[in-house]
Structure 1
Amino acid sequence: MSGTRPAPPSGAARVGRALLDRLRRLWGWLAPRLRRALTFWRRSIQARVVASTLVLSAVVISGVGWILLQQTRDGLLRHRAEVVLGEVDAEVSDARDRLEAASGTEVNAGRQQRDLVDPIIERGVSRGYAVVLAGPEGDDPPLRTGGGEYTSGLDLVSVPRSLEDHFDGVNRPTAWTYTDIVRRPRDATTGVEGPTTRVPGIIVGSQVQLPSDGKTYTLYFLFPLTEEKDTLGLVTRALLTAAGLLLALVAGLTWVVTRQVVTPIRMARQVAERLAAGRLQERLQVAGEDDIARLAYSFNQMATNLQRQIRQLEELSWVQRRFVSDVSHELRTPLTTVRMASDVLHDAREQFDPGTARAAELLQAELDRFENLLVDLLEISRFDAGAAVLTPENVNLGDVVRRVVAAAQPLADQRGIRVVVEEPRVPVRAEVDVRRVERIVRNLVTNAIDHALVDDPDEAVIVRLASDDEAAAITVRDHGIGLAPGEASMVFNRFWRSDPARTRTSGGTGLGLAIAQEDAHLHGGWLQAWGRTGQGAQFRLTVPRHNGGTLRHSPLPLIPEDAASSDAAVVGPGTVVPAREEER
């Protein structure tokens, strides 16, 4: 079998993969640390206060330091400029005096230039400044090409073009500006140029006239600002050191102050968490008489009052549960006797007059409802007492749903409501308590039939089933009066009706959905409701496929596909979310 081998990766590809691997390893090392840092930042008010104070302090200190540096710099330069101008005036006056004292018969202009500039250059070398003699004015002095007399090692680019342009004529006033003094020192023996240096400086220009030729020349004096630069650097370092120490002091003080405030708050949070966990005896330690101490005292008083009220409510709830349980049990015996008498009367109702026969039938119907109420009350009392237990078995939920729908079919036919079951081809199986799941589905289906629209034959009560690897779900959808947002928060409350004036065809007790929700919670599942006024409602039961499993999602959406996305959807008892959002 022949074939071609893939071409080996090129060098650039190998380098790219190696770089990508390094970046992945770097990100793998950096990501958890960034997450921890962000978590610490979100949870620590102390860190945020210290960081905010440091940032604001740094901004203020930077602004003040910049202003101080600018004022110091301007003062140094202004003082240096005054000294330089005075020194230049002295040099120019001395040069003019020497020129006036020269012989009137002197005609050698070159010699007079050297006699003029050489002493100034020598004094400049000894005093640390450079000198350039340019001119005469009116000609084209080759200053940039090395013409004129100037201090050895000075680069003529140090003379700014703007200052040259100022002295493009005669009788120009003295002028000065800032410049960079560039030097290229040359070894006197070898002629090799040394490294170029560039320092800031002040250049002053002034014109003089040579008697020998009557022409005007310009003297440029270049004074370095090395001392001022060093002084400014020293001031800058001092300000930076002071700013660093001040920021450290501010950070320390802020940390101490915030710690004094945050520590009691953290203790209060910890105590509040323990109180929320049921440890009602927890209290804050009170020390001192300041605001924090009074807050701790008020917190302890609140905790004591809450503990007292919770105990009272627990005792009242226990008394209520005990009363309901005792009354439910005690009523069964007289109810049995009344049931026996009612059965006798109901069986003999054909021998009575019509009014008495109707009364016997009503008595029998109300006794049936009373018995259902007692059964529901006993079931609620078992849930309240924590005595309800599961008897799970692996069943096909589709069989349970079809059995419930078949039992509710006479009620649906009586109201003219169609009940449709939609289930997948694969059986929906789960480990559940069949009796409790059947009771949940029966409550949902009979409620949907009760609230469906009778005058719309095209609408139907739709029961859907679905499952995945972790969960199984059943939804019951009706297109009746629906649930208003305010009503949805009470839909699972005991003895609550969406429309108190509405007649219950199925003769419910008002405890059905409350018991159904308790049954769902006993399975570790969810029973949730969605409703929209005038467009019906949908209830969804979701249970783990395996007993003891944990639910993370539901195989069926709570919000029906035919619902408009503009209104609000209700998830569970009283929770409102946007209809376009798929919860869980």
Structure 2
Amino acid sequence: MTPFARWAALPTVRSLGRSIARGRGGFAGSGVRRLHSLWRRSLQFRVATSTVLVTGVVVLIIGMLLVDQIGNGVLKAKRDASIGQATLGLEAATAQFDGLTPGDLNGIRQAVDQITSAPNPSAGGVPTGDLFFRAVRSTDDSLNRQLPVGLAVPSSLRQQVERGALAVQYAPITRPGNPPSSTPGLIVGQPVSTQAGSFELYYLFPLTAEQNTLDLVQRTVLIAGLALVLLVAAIAVLVTGLVVRPVRVAAQTAERLAAGDLAQRIEVSGEDDIALLGESFNDMANSLQQQIQRLEKLSRLQQRFTSDVSHELRTPLTTVRMAAELLYGSRQSFAPELARSAELLSNELDRFESLLAELLEISRYDAGVAQLETESVDLVGIVERAVLASRVLAERHGVELLVAAPGGPILADVDTRRIERVLRNLIGNALDHAEGKPVEVRLAADAAAAAVTVRDYGVGLRPGEAALVFNRFWRGDPSRSRLTGGTGLGLAISLEDIRLHQGWLQAWGERGKGAVFRMTVPRTAGDTVQSSPLPLEPLDTSALPVKPGSTAAVDLGSRPRAPLAAPDPARAGSDVQA
């Protein structure tokens, strides 16, 4: 049995192996998970482990071949030496039977005793003294009962000897005792033909020395192999560390750069490939720092320009407004063409003033000076005011404005002015794209958040446009006229207002099926929205809203609020923020 087989046969090793195989070890599960995590995260561990495994397999194969070759050589040498010694013994044994006849039983027995007990070659012994046992058999079974045989010869070996050939076979030697011990051995058998009859002479050579030699070789190969594997593993860890360490430094420096510390650089030493990588990284960081600083400067200039222009335009705008109001008030005495021009001038001045106000609001957000003035208010009342403020516009466009809201109040800590502005922008945007179809406003809340959705059934959005609708001055279809006279900044300001509340403002739409805008804000100031009580995508994208008079939606202008249909919780949690 090899050393590895003896080690694997130990009860403790077998028990541990079964525990790991069945997953019952107290540390097995967590240990495997830690190793798997380390394998995925550490390049150094992967390289070292792979090197150890490959080296171990190579050392195992080479060790097995080496032990096999040495074992074959030792056994072949022992076999050749045993055959040579048995040949010498055959000549001495033949001399012992000279002058004997088949009937001289006493002489035959004495000759056999001399052969089996004599320690020298002249009596049939072997010169090296490593013989363990000798036995003589006769082809006459009746004579065998009177000979001191004392050796159980394998039948296959004896059949070869009976045919007159020299035969060699490896067989274990069983020593008497309690318990009996077994030693590997080599049996050499050959026929002895004399005047006294035909005999079989067997020599049994112990292989204890050869087994000890092979055990020593196996132990040496095993220890040398383990030492080689450990040495290679240490070299792999060392060499990999030299490569991985600069990569880790680069990764940490990149993280600090991404966090805003643009002054971070990699310390470079040497002129090798790693040093070249560090220099290239530093050059890239310098370029990024310069570009970011340039962009920041341009952004500050742009913000300042927008703010300054907006402020500076107010003075001439006030003068123009005074003249326009004078003309507008006297338009009755003008010719029809001049009267229409005065009306257009007044309308465009109103739009220009709205644009200036929104530019100033955007500049506050860009400068980071916008602040919330939160208070606990009823969101239902804010929705009512936003809807009532949009009724005139809805009637002008021939759009039916429907509202679905809970029967009781919904309290939330919000900035009333900003939330009402968001709702007016969403409703105005929906009226602008409704194409004469109804616009539906829904309100719902749970313990953590409140949500309002504004849905139209008009032109809808193309794929990818839901992420663009909040960009400044973006228009889905430039060829469409703006019925509401919008500035193109309403949704962008609305998004900033909701972000200031730590909430969500999202959009959904399909071409020909309309669009949905959802506003979700936390009910407690300072909280962050985790989910919305209303789904973003409609449950039925083909149906028109319920007409006034149902329990699902009512017109605030004509009837009191009715309970809102319960939202689908499965869909409410799967929305994607635009």
TM-score if structure 2 supplies the norm length? 0.78
Matched, 1:257 2:242: no
Residues 1:386 and 1:95: Cα distance change in structure 2 (over 3 Å): same
Q: How far apart, CA to CA, are the structure 2 residues paired with 1:505 and 1:141?
A: 131
> Which one of 122, 129, 132 corresponds to residue 129 of structure 1?
132
Q: How far apart, CA to CA, are the structure 1 residues paired with 2:148 and 2:519?
A: 103
Residues 1:161 and 1:559: Cα distance change in structure 2 (over 3 Å): farther
> Which one of 107, 115, 119 corresponds to residue 119 of structure 1?
115
Residues 1:266 and 1:506: Cα distance change in structure 2 (over 3 Å): same
Residues 1:92 and 1:262: Cα distance change in structure 2 (over 3 Å): same
- Residue matched to 1:467: 445
Residues 1:381 and 1:134: Cα distance change in structure 2 (over 3 Å): farther
Aligned positions of 1:352-391 closer than 5 A: 352-391=334-373
- The 3-state SS of whatever aligns with 1:312 is helix
Matched, 1:431 2:413: yes
- Residue matched to 2:182: 198
- Residue matched to 2:475: 497
Residues 1:400 and 1:119: Cα distance change in structure 2 (over 3 Å): farther
- Residue matched to 1:266: 248
Residues 1:288 and 1:127: Cα distance change in structure 2 (over 3 Å): closer
Matched, 1:538 2:523: no
Residues 1:336 and 1:52: Cα distance change in structure 2 (over 3 Å): same
Q: How far apart, CA to CA, are the structure 2 residues paired with 1:519 and 1:526?
A: 10
Residues 1:301 and 1:132: Cα distance change in structure 2 (over 3 Å): same
Aligned positions of 1:509-520 closer than 5 A: 509-520=487-498
Relative contact order, CA 8 A, sep 6+: which one is greater?
2
Residues 1:198 and 1:382: Cα distance change in structure 2 (over 3 Å): same
- The 3-state SS of whatever aligns with 1:301 is helix
- Residue matched to 1:450: 432
Q: How far apart, CA to CA, are the structure 2 residues paired with 1:387 and 1:298?
A: 38
Q: Is the 1:163–1:175 contact (alpha carbons within 8 Å) kept by the matching residues of 2?
A: yes
Q: Is the 2:131–2:204 contact (alpha carbons within 8 Å) kept by the matching residues of 1?
A: no
Matched, 1:65 2:63: yes
* CA shift digits 1:170-189 (9 cap, x unpaired): 41533334333333x1xxxx
Q: Quote how far apart the aligned CAs of 1:66 are.
A: 2.0
Moved more, 413-422 or 444-453: 413-422
Q: How far apart, CA to CA, are the structure 1 residues paired with 2:58 and 2:133?
A: 42
Residues 1:26 and 1:112: Cα distance change in structure 2 (over 3 Å): closer
Moved more, 323-332 or 83-92: 83-92
* CA shift digits 1:462-506 (9 cap, x unpaired): 444343333333333444444444434433221111222222222
Residues 1:540 and 1:352: Cα distance change in structure 2 (over 3 Å): same
Q: Quote how far apart the aligned CAs of 1:558 are.
A: 3.9
- The 3-state SS of whatever aligns with 1:370 is helix
Q: How far apart, CA to CA, are the structure 2 residues paired with 1:46 and 1:496?
A: 50
Residues 1:174 and 1:471: Cα distance change in structure 2 (over 3 Å): farther
> Which one of 172, 179, 204 corresponds to residue 180 of structure 1?
172
Q: How far apart, CA to CA, are the structure 2 residues paired with 1:354 and 1:282?
A: 70
Aligned positions of 1:105-504 closer than 5 A: 105-108=102-105, 112=108, 115-116=111-112, 119-120=115-116, 127-131=130-134, 136=139, 150-151=149-150, 156=152, 163=157, 166-167=159-160, 170-171=162-163, 173-183=165-175, 185=176, 193-208=177-192, 212=196, 218-424=200-406, 427-452=409-434, 454=436, 461-504=439-482
Q: Is the 2:133–2:205 contact (alpha carbons within 8 Å) kept by the matching residues of 1?
A: yes
- The 3-state SS of whatever aligns with 2:412 is strand
Letter in 1 for 2:447: D
Q: Quote how far apart the aligned CAs of 1:391 are.
A: 0.9
- Residue matched to 1:51: 49
Q: Quote how far apart the aligned CAs of 1:533 are.
A: 4.5
- Residue matched to 2:13: none
- The 3-state SS of whatever aligns with 1:127 is coil
For structure 2, the residue ranges without an aligned partner over 5 or more in a row are 1-23, 120-124, 543-570
Letter in 1 for 2:293: R
Q: Is the 1:176–1:203 contact (alpha carbons within 8 Å) kept by the matching residues of 2?
A: yes
Size of the aligned set, in residue pairs, is: 521
* CA shift digits 1:2-55 (9 cap, x unpaired): xxxxxxxxxxxxxxxxxxxxxxx996x888777666555443322222222222
- The 3-state SS of whatever aligns with 2:390 is helix
Residues 1:438 and 1:131: Cα distance change in structure 2 (over 3 Å): farther
- Residue matched to 1:104: 101
TM-score if structure 1 supplies the norm length? 0.77
Residues 1:63 and 1:531: Cα distance change in structure 2 (over 3 Å): farther
For structure 1, the residue ranges without an aligned partner over 5 or more in a row are 1-24, 186-192, 565-577
- Residue matched to 2:548: none
* CA shift digits 1:496-534 (9 cap, x unpaired): 112222222222211122111111111122223344445
Residues 1:91 and 1:317: Cα distance change in structure 2 (over 3 Å): same
Q: Is the 1:428–1:465 contact (alpha carbons within 8 Å) kept by the matching residues of 2?
A: no
- Residue matched to 1:524: 502
- The 3-state SS of whatever aligns with 2:471 is coil
Residues 1:203 and 1:424: Cα distance change in structure 2 (over 3 Å): farther
Q: Is the 2:100–2:107 contact (alpha carbons within 8 Å) kept by the matching residues of 1?
A: no
Q: How far apart, CA to CA, are the structure 2 residues paired with 1:472 and 1:389?
A: 21
- Residue matched to 1:574: none
Q: How far apart, CA to CA, are the structure 1 residues paired with 2:530 and 2:147?
A: 91
Residues 1:531 and 1:96: Cα distance change in structure 2 (over 3 Å): farther
Q: How far apart, CA to CA, are the structure 1 residues paired with 2:73 and 2:473?
A: 88
Q: How far apart, CA to CA, are the structure 1 residues paired with 2:231 and 2:74?
A: 31
Letter in 1 for 2:108: Q
- The 3-state SS of whatever aligns with 2:279 is helix
Q: Quote how far apart the aligned CAs of 1:425 are.
A: 5.7
Q: Quote how far apart the aligned CAs of 1:141 are.
A: 13
- Residue matched to 1:14: none
Q: Is the 2:507–2:536 contact (alpha carbons within 8 Å) kept by the matching residues of 1?
A: yes
Q: Is the 1:132–1:148 contact (alpha carbons within 8 Å) kept by the matching residues of 2?
A: no
Moved more, 57-66 or 314-323: 57-66
Residues 1:350 and 1:26: Cα distance change in structure 2 (over 3 Å): farther
Q: Quote how far apart the aligned CAs of 1:325 are.
A: 0.5
Q: Quote how far apart the aligned CAs of 1:129 are.
A: 3.0
